[in-house]
Amino acid sequence: MPRKTYRQAINEALDSEMARDENVIVIGEDVAGGAGGSGEDDAYGGVLGVTKGLVGKYGRTRVIDTPITESAIMGAAAGAASTGLRPVAELMFVDFLGVCFDQIFNQAAKFRYMFGGKARTPLVIRSMIGAGLSAAAQHSQALHPIFTHIPGLKVVMPSNAYDAKGLLIQAIRDDDPVIFLEHKALYETQAEVPDEAYTIPFGEAEFVTEGDDVTVVAFSAMVARCKAAADTLEKDGIEVELIDPRTTSPLDEDAILESVERTGRLVVVDEGSPRCGLAADIAALVACKAFAHLKAPIAMVTPPHTPVPFAPNLEAAYLPSAERIAAAVRATLGETVPAE
Amino acid sequence: MAQLTALTMPKWGLSMEEGTLASWHLAEGDAVDEGTEIADIETSKLLNTLEAKQAGTVLRLVAGEGETLPCGALIAVMGEDGASAPDIDAFIASFRRVETDAAAGEEHYAAPAYRNAQVDGLNLRYMEAGAGEEAVLLLHGFGGDGGNWMFVTEELASDYRTIALDLPGHGGSDKTLPGSGKLEDMAALVLAFIETEELGAVHLVGHSFGGAVAEQVAATGTTRSLTLLAPLLPGLALDRTYIADFVAAKRKRELRAVLTRLVADPDAISRDMVDDVLRYMRLDGVGAALERLGAVAREIAQAEPRPPAARAVAIWGEADRIIPPPGEGCLYNDHVLHVVADAGHLPHLERPTETTRLIRTALTG
């Protein structure tokens, strides 16, 4: 099977759905690029080239460049979705959600509820999250817990190229607003990705590794770091069950609970800030519903509660590392670990 | 210098790129005959046993147990008893040099290839290996693909033009079914495929649902022989819940539990095998195709019992829980029935060596 990057996988998903359904449109800043200039027409394909090639195939009526006005992009997309189009709107960096959040959380997320179940809002908002590229505090956040908090939004966080394609096709075919969060450090990662279209249902966790000693739950770019930690721990005979729920809303609670019932130990790893975050949410779920099975306190591995540092060495220290994850796993097993 | 030969990591099927040496059956200095079991090799699908192709002595075990190596990599040095250690070292060194040369590496095994055929408006993918005047056409079962014959194809390819077809709705073939998806439509498409690819009169080998298709093809076309592995024939006691549970399984654990029912040893189903099947089931069009073919399979099982239309050799796993082996002679008055011990519904994957030998014998009549 061909190996493809996360970027290619997302591009293929958009291409395949635009070919399949003429109601699918792409709208955002520089998603085509080059409009009105004298140079190359398909110049950008988005700030990281994810939508490259689409304007050539589907034209400017379906690949729409906008001014730098996130509120207009999200408002137009939410309105278009409520009239029957299937817009895929791009919020270039998730950090910009502040200027368009009303259109997302108080409009798109509420239409179905405010109109007696008669309104459908098949809207996908693609956005880029995460630290690791030294893009500083205003372009590096992982704000998925904010979307996850809002009922009426589905939130997807693919950790690899295979999942990215299947989850994005599923998102575009879904009749509710879906927030699709791409981690900027994953675009160059590769996986085996079928050429054909396929869907991965929401709310179904992937078991990256299976093991009976400790359950580790992680999303997006943290999954690979946890896998690296699990590989190290395996050499010492510690079997980690690594769960990637893939979507934070809906959340595959059964997968997490059933695993913890077996292992009795939980480490949650998340790139979001620790306060009111996803790690705390999953820790609370397990504490409430599987407390009797726990053999050790739940461990959370997150960044500190601070903006993302710009300095590369500080940014590296800010992000949960494989070493910190492995240490947390050992701690749940009662092993003392030298302080970092 | 004594004659030394390389024993390499086998390549069983197109998707196999590497294998893990699970355990050696022999120690250095042991003599082997043709067919002696040498080692257990774990592939991403299943465990298989590597057998000696010729008599000789195990001079040096190069690969350690648990080691994962690419196909074609040196795992042991064989030869005549009494070869000197320096000679063996030199042989290993020269082999490694050859290994680093990608072009030379290709020569260790003639890699089979995927091909595509356009038949009646459908794209059909198939794996072709080997050459020979006579062609063997392998038809997989419900929810499977040509890769299910991975342990069989290499062995048959030494004497036959060996073709493992992905039936429509499966593998790399189109997920649209021919006609209304009836058994007759599937058989007509296979006949058209045989014609398009100019295979002539073929040896047909079909497993389970593919056995039903093969039997139908043999009833209407010219074939050299018909070999059926746990075939779905009218009136046999098919476990109908299997098809419903397979189609309904959306989670890895559910699917693993379903797939485990296919085999005698539950540990034979690997994570990768479950992953591959799940990934296949997520492809657009697969769900609808399997629903339709599942209904066809149930109809066949409910039909009046009748023996195969053409003389057939049947091969059945003794512990088959999906279609249990029929009693000796109950369906096959002048047909031959072989029962393979320690195998469930997938004898060609569970006991490949014995099953391949039985298939080979069936082909030569």
CATH number (domain holding residue B38): 2.40.50.100
Asked if residue B65 and residue B133 are part of one domain, the reply reads: no
Q: Are B136 and B233 members of one domain?
A: yes
Q: In a 10 Å sphere around its CB, with 0-12 CB exposed, 13-18 middle and 19+ buried, how is residue B333 labelled?
A: exposed
Confidence of residue B2 (pLDDT cuts 50, 70, 90): low
Q: Model confidence over B52-70: pLDDT tens digits?
A: 878 888 988 988 888 888 8
Residue among B198, B193, B244, B231 at smallest CA distance from B317? B231
Percentage of chain A with pLDDT > 90? 92
Q: Which residues contact B156 (CB under 8 A, 6 or more apart)?
A: B130, B136, B162, B356, B359, B360, B363
| Tally of structural domains, chain B | 2
**Cβ proximity of A308 and A141 under 8 Å:** yes
- Residue A254 CB partners (closer than 8 Å, separation 6+): none
What pLDDT, on a 0 to 100 scale, did the predictor assign at position B105? 42
**Inter-axis angle of helices A161-173 and A6-20, to 10 degrees?**
30
Given a cut of 80, whether residue A36 has pLDDT beyond it is: no
Q: List active site positions of A.
A: 139
pLDDT of the residue at A175: 97
Contacts of B284 in chain A (CB under 8 A): 196-199
**Residue A46 identity:** G
B158 and B273 in one domain? Answer: yes
Q: How confident is the model at residue B263 (pLDDT cuts 50, 70, 90)?
A: very high
Chain A positions touching chain B (beta carbons under 8 Å)? 162, 166, 194, 196-201, 204, 206-207, 210
The tens digit of pLDDT for each residue in A208-238 reads 999 999 999 999 999 999 999 999 999 999 9
Neighbours of B14 (CB within 10 A): 17
Express each pLDDT in A258-290 by its tens digit: 999 999 999 999 999 999 999 999 999 999 999
SS3 of chain B: helix, strand, coil, percent, to 5: 35, 25, 40
Helices (H), chain A: 6-20, 54-58, 70-82, 101, 111-114, 144-148, 161-173, 222-235, 253-263, 278-289, 312-318, 322-332
Distance CA A30, CA A49 (A): 9
Q: Let me know: does A121 contact A177? Beta carbons within 8 Å.
A: yes
Q: Which two tokens stand for residue A281?
A: 């949410």
Three-class SS of residue A262? helix
Please answer yes or no on whether A166 and B282 come within 8 Å at the CB atom. yes
CB spacing of B284 vs A198 below 8 angstroms: yes
How many residue contacts between A and B have a Cβ separation below 8 Å?
22
B177 and B271: one domain? yes
Average pLDDT score over residue span B131-138: 93
Using the beta-carbon criterion (under 8 Å), do A210 and B271 form an inter-chain contact?
Answer: yes
Cis peptide before A250 (omega within 30 of 0): yes
Query: Could you tell me which of A203, A191, A189 has the C-alpha nearest to residue A243?
Result: A203
Of A162, A196, A207, Cβ closest to residue B283: A196
Q: B283 at the A interface (CB within 8 A)? A: yes
Go through A248-276 and write b for each residue having 16 or more CB atoms within 10 A of its CB, e for each that does not. Answer: bbebbbebbbbbbeebbbbbbbbbbbbee
Please check whether residues B72 and B117 belong to one and the same domain. Answer: no
Mutate to test the interface with A, among B14, B250, B251, B255 (most CBs of A within 10 A): B251
Residue linked to tokens 């302080």: A339
Q: Give the whole-angstrom CA distance, residue B109 versus residue B51.
A: 16
User: What is the percent of chain B with per-residue pLDDT over 90, rounded to a whole number?
Assistant: 52
B278: confidence class by pLDDT, cuts 50, 70, 90: very high
Residues of B in contact with A199 (CB under 8 A): 282, 284
Same domain for B244 and B326, yes or no, is yes
The complex scores an ipTM of 0.90
What's the gap in Å between the CA of B285 and the closest CA on chain A? 9
Question: At B202, is the secondary structure helix, strand, or coil?
Answer: strand
Residues paired with residue B284 on neighbouring β-strands, in sequence order: none
Domain finish residue from B100, B119, B137 = B100
Among residues B67, B100, B133, the one where a domain terminates is B100
Q: What does the mean pLDDT of chain B come to?
A: 88
| Kind of pairing between the strands at A266-269 and A214-218 | parallel
**Cβ atoms B316, B296 nearer than 8 A:** no
User: In this predicted model, which residue has the larger pLDDT, B235 or A243?
Assistant: A243
Q: How far apart are CA B78 and CA A3, in angstroms?
A: 37
Question: Can you tell me the distance from the alpha carbon of B360 to that of A52, in angstroms, rounded to the nearest whole number?
Answer: 53
- Chain B residues touching residue A257 (CB < 8 angstroms): none
Using a CB-CB cut-off of 8 Å, the residues of chain A touching B274 are none
Q: B284–A199: do the CB atoms touch at under 8 Å?
A: yes
Return the ∠ at Cα B118 (arms to B115 and B119), rounded to 5°: 120
Which residues are within 8 A (CB) of B186 and not within 5 positions of it... i.e. 6 or more apart?
B167, B168, B177, B178, B213, B216
3-state percent breakdown (helix, strand, coil) of chain A, nearest 5: 35, 20, 45
Provide the pLDDT for residue B16: 80
DSSP 8-state class, residue B112: -
pLDDT of the residue at B362: 92
Partners of B252 on chain A (C-beta within 8 Å) are 206-207
Looking at the structure, do residues B179 and B267 belong to the same domain, yes or no?
yes
> Are both B341 and B295 inside the same structural domain?
yes
pLDDT of B250 reads 86
State whether residue B68 sits within 8 Å of chain A by CB: no
Q: Does B66 touch chain A (CB under 8 A)?
A: no
Rounded (5°) CA angle A92-A93-A96: 105
Element (H, E) at B244: helix B240-248
Cβ-proximal residues to B332 (8 Å cutoff; 6+ apart), any chain: B307, B308, B312, B314, B326
Residues B142 and B95 in one domain: no
Q: Is the pLDDT of residue B343 over 80?
A: yes
* pLDDT for B87 beyond 90: no
- pLDDT value of residue A338: 56
Asked if B74 and B122 sit in the same domain, the reply is no
A162, A194, A210 ranked by CB distance to B283: nearest: A194
Look up the CATH number of the domain holding residue B276. 3.40.50.1820
* Cβ contact B250–A194 (<8 Å): no
Tell me the nearest-neighbour CA distance from A200 into chain B, angstroms.
7
Residue in A with minimal Cα distance to B286: A198
CA distance A300 to B45: 36
> Counting beta carbons within 10 angstroms of the beta carbon of residue B64, is it exposed (0 to 12), middle (13 to 18) or buried (19 or more)?
exposed
B24 to chain A nearest CA, in Å? Answer: 23
Contact flag A196-B279 (C-beta cutoff 8 Å): no
Q: Does B115 lie at the interface with A, CB-CB under 8 angstroms?
A: no
B116 in contact with A, Cβ within 8 Å: no
What residue spans of A59-127 are helical by DSSP H? 70-82, 101, 111-114
Residue B252 contacts A where some CB pair is shorter than 8 Å = yes
Question: Is it the case that residue A139 has pLDDT exceeding 90?
Answer: yes
Residue in A closest to B172 by C-alpha = A196
| pLDDT digits 0-9 by tens, B142-184 | 999 999 999 899 889 989 999 999 999 999 999 999 999 999 9
Element (H, E) at B317: strand B313-317
Inter-chain contact A198–B251, Cβ cutoff 8 Å? Answer: no
Per CB-CB distance under 8 Å, the chain A contacts of B175 are 196
Sheet holding A206-209, edge to edge: A206-209, A240-244, A214-218, A266-269, A299-301
Q: Are A194 and B279 in contact (CB < 8 Å)?
A: yes
Question: With bands split at pLDDT 50, 70 and 90, how would you rate the model's confidence at B113?
Answer: confident
Q: Which one of A20, A160, A168, A196 would you mutate to disrupt binding with B, by most B Cβ within 10 Å of its Cβ?
A: A196
Confidence grade of residue B218 (pLDDT, cut at 50, 70, 90) = very high
CA triple B52-B57-B62, angle to 5 deg: 80
Q: What is the pLDDT of residue B310?
A: 83
Instruction: Tell me: pLDDT of B216 over 70.
Output: yes
Note the pLDDT of residue A247. Answer: 98
Smallest CA–CA distance, residue B128 to chain A, in Å, is 17
pLDDT tens for B352-361 read 989 999 999 9
Answer whether residue B332 shows pLDDT above 70.
Answer: no
CB-based contact, B282 to chain A, within 8 Å? yes
Q: In which band, very low, low, confident or very high, does the pLDDT at B103 lie, cut at 50, 70 and 90? A: very low
Q: What is the pLDDT of residues A50-62, one digit of tens each?
A: 999 999 999 999 9
Distances (CA, A) of A186 to A7, A160, A300, B8, B315: 8, 7, 23, 37, 49
State percent of chain A over pLDDT 70: 98
Domain end residue (candidates: B100, B134, B152): B100
Measure in Å the smallest separation between the Cα of A197 and chain B Cα atoms. Answer: 6
Instruction: Give the nearest partner residue to B250 out of A162, A166, A201, using CB atoms.
Output: A201
Q: Residue range B320-338: average pLDDT?
A: 77
B283 Cα to chain A: minimum distance (Å) = 4
* Rounded distance between C-alpha atoms, residue B245 and residue B257, angstroms: 10
Domain around B239: 108-363
User: Do residues B282 and B266 both lie within one domain?
Assistant: yes
Strand pairing of A240-244 and A214-218? parallel
User: What pLDDT sits at residue B131?
Assistant: 85
Confidence of residue A28 (pLDDT cuts 50, 70, 90): very high
Minimum distance, in Å, between the CA of residue B282 and any CA atom of chain A: 5
Query: What's the mean pLDDT in A40-44?
Result: 73
pLDDT score for B108:
38
Chain B residues 178-237 with CB within 8 Å of chain A: none
Is the Cβ–Cβ distance between A221 and A159 less than 8 Å?
yes
Mean pLDDT to the nearest integer, B338-343:
93
Of B250, B252, B283, the CB nearest to A207: B252
The reply to whether residue B250 touches residue A210, judged by beta carbons under 8 angstroms, is no
- Do B163 and B279 fall into the same domain? yes
Q: Give the nearest partner residue to A198 out of B250, B271, B282, using CB atoms.
A: B282
